């Protein structure tokens, strides 16, 4: 295990400049139909301190929480969030919920009700069959952590984040909140004040982990907030695939998810981060994800976003090292009064970096899909190339699809293209397929599958199957209505 130098800093952000430009969040002009996100209620300082105390955190972490809390209280709601969702923090009674469960390393050790939920979600099966590691977060704490010997032998570290803070303080301090500072926006700050749960994965030099590891998040109760923080550090030349799964039962009232993923991909490493999100319909989901890629490193983001009421997620990568590259493949479904505000941000901060973003969204029944993308080529990032492709399929007149690309070219030696189109269901295609004997809903299903085929290809098989099933269930009857 690599020894980490103690950085001679007291604050989290002093001394080290990661050269990250403040990612510019575009301010949208005031338009009448748009509302704003409201967070009412208070997060008490004592709650934050209590969380820190229960977790037995070192002082620097507690200070970080408190500073983040201060920032959260002062910061404005980001102007770019267009829809009102009222999140009353007082009403969200459980910003921190410690489930009454002892952490288990074997499925059998979990209490029965919990184990049954997971079995329904097929987690034990997945773990046994094809994962190298699995951590399961229930409410605000990790309840299951399974790390197969395979990982242990490779020297890969996979432990709940709280344990990492205590066991590997140097490692955590070096990376925690450095990729995504709390000052970035109000919800990042809220996250840092209340974070709980999540996992640290460290892959040693030149270790290539052949099987994926997974973190699974389950929100068990309504009016709950989940703020897990995952940190993945891939040392030079290493490779890892990380899957993040999210689910919640059908709850009656809102819950709020404000998680964060920080990835640091060292030289020549490769990290793939796959999220399959199937939150229930009353979750307001903020997913802060960012990666820094060093020389020759690769970061791949894949996201399948099915559920939630309101999702905001922009996987971002800062290409800091020469020759690094990133891809982002996002697929989102907005059915009904669901808003998906997704996108990707890429900052080319070094020469010969490349990025490729593919975004596909399907909206129906009054759903709203928003794609927000930023591609920025900093001065000096010569010979960089970026291609962004977004396609949106609107199935009816009630729904909306908006694309807001931002292309900033601060160096003139870059090859950059962004193309997007919004299409509707092609009745000619439907006619052709039905004339071959398919029922209308079968034809529509086929067309939708064709639409997202590229994205499905990137998901692990089980997830691709699940996504397909969900799509069929959600849109199958789209054909039926005349």
For other proteins, the binding residues (CB under 8 A) are 21-22, 24-27, 29-30, 392, 394-397, 399-410, 412-425
Structure tokens at 241: 């695939």
Burial of 418 (0-12, 13-18, 19+ CB in 10 A): middle
Strand pairing category for 283-293 and 255-265: parallel
Checking phi first, is residue 60 left (phi over 0); if not, alpha (psi -120 to 50) or beta? alpha
* Closest to other proteins by CB, 424 or 469: 424
Instruction: Quote the least distance from Cβ 182 to other proteins, whole Å.
Output: 16
DSSP calls for 308-357? -SEEEE--EEEE-STT-EEEEEEEEEEESS-EEEEEEEEEE-STT-EEEE
Contact, 210 vs 49, CB < 8 A? no
> Residue 178: helix, strand or coil by DSSP?
coil
C-alpha span between 325 and 293 (Å, rounded)? 7
C-alpha span between 67 and 189 (Å, rounded)? 9
* Closest to other proteins by CB, 60 or 404: 404
* Closest to other proteins by CB, 42 or 379: 379
List of residues 6+ apart from 429 with CB closer than 8 A: 443, 447
Instruction: Quote the least distance from Cβ 412 to other proteins, whole Å.
Output: 3
Instruction: Quote the least distance from Cβ 388 to other proteins, whole Å.
Output: 9
Enumerate helices (H) and strands (E) in the chain, giving the number of each: 11, 23
* Closest to other proteins by CB, 185 or 458: 185
Closest CA to 334 of 262, 281, 265: 281
Instruction: Quote the least distance from Cβ 261 to other proteins, whole Å.
Output: 23
Instruction: Quote the least distance from Cβ 456 to other proteins, whole Å.
Output: 23
* Closest to other proteins by CB, 143 or 363: 363
Instruction: Quote the least distance from Cβ 27 to other proteins, whole Å.
Output: 5
* Closest to other proteins by CB, 332 or 399: 399
Structure tokens at 203: 């892959």
Instruction: Quote the least distance from Cβ 23 to other proteins, whole Å.
Output: 8
List of residues 6+ apart from 33 with CB closer than 8 A: none
* Helices 123-130 + 112-120 axis angle, to 10: 70
**What is the C-alpha end-to-end distance of the chain, expressed in Å?**
63
Instruction: Quote the least distance from Cβ 444 to other proteins, whole Å.
Output: 13
Instruction: Quote the least distance from Cβ 31 to other proteins, whole Å.
Output: 9
* Closest to other proteins by CB, 152 or 379: 379
**Residue 411, Cβ neighbours under 10 Å: how many?**
15
Q: Which residue has the tokens 């242990």?
A: 152
* Closest to other proteins by CB, 296 or 373: 373
* Closest to other proteins by CB, 63 or 422: 422
């Amino acid at each position: 295990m690599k020894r980490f130098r103690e950085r001679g800093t007291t604050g989290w952000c002093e001394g080290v400049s990661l050269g990250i430009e403040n990612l510019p969040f575009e301010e949208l002009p005031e338009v009448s139909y748009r509302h704003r996100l409201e967070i009412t209620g208070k997060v008490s300082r004592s709650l934050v301190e209590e969380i820190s105390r229960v977790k037995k955190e070192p002082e620097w972490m507690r200070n970080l929480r408190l500073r983040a809390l201060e920032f959260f209280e002062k910061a404005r709601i980001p102007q770019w969030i267009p829809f009102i969702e009222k999140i009353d923090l007082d009403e969200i009674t459980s910003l921190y919920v410690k489930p009454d469960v002892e952490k288990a390393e074997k499925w059998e050790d979990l209490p029965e009700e919990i184990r049954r939920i997971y079995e329904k979600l097929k987690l034990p099966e997945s773990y046994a069959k094809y994962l190298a590691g699995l951590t399961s977060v229930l409410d605000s704490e990790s309840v299951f952590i399974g790390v197969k010997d395979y990982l242990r032998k490779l020297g890969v570290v996979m432990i709940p984040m709280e344990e990492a803070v205590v066991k590997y303080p140097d490692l955590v301090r070096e990376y925690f909140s450095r990729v995504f500072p709390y000052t970035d926006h109000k919800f990042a700050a809220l996250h840092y004040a209340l974070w709980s749960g999540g996992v640290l994965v460290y892959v040693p030099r030149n270790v290539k982990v052949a099987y994926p590891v997974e973190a699974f998040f389950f929100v068990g109760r309504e009016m709950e907030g989940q703020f897990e923080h995952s940190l993945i550090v891939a040392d030079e030349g290493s490779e890892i695939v990380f899957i993040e799964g999210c689910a919640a039962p059908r709850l009656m009232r809102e819950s709020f998810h404000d998680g964060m993923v920080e990835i640091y991909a060292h030289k020549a490493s490769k990290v793939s981060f796959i999220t399959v999100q199937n939150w229930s319909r009353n979750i307001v989901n903020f997913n802060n994800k960012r990666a820094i890629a060093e020389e020759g490193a690769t970061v791949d983001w894949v996201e399948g976003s099915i559920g939630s009421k309101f999702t905001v997620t922009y996987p971002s990568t800062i290409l800091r090292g020469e020759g690094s590259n990133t891809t982002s493949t996002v697929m989102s479904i907005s059915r009904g009064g669901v808003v998906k505000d997704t996108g990707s941000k890429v900052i080319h901060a070094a020469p010969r970096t490349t990025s490729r973003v593919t975004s596909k969204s399907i909206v129906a029944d009054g759903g709203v899909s928003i794609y927000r993308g930023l591609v920025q080529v900093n001065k000096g990032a010569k010979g960089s190339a970026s291609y962004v492709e977004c396609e949106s399929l609107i199935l009816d007149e009630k729904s909306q699809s908006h694309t807001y690309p931002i292309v900033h070219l601060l160096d003139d030696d870059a090859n950059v293209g962004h193309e997007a189109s919004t299409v509707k269901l092609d009745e000619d295609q439907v006619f052709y397929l039905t004339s071959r004997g398919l029922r209308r809903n079968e034809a529509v299903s086929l067309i939708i599958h064709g639409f997202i085929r590229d994205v499905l290809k990137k998901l692990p098989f089980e997830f691709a199957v699940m996504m397909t099933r969900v799509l069929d269930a959600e849109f199958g009857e789209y054909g039926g209505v005349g």
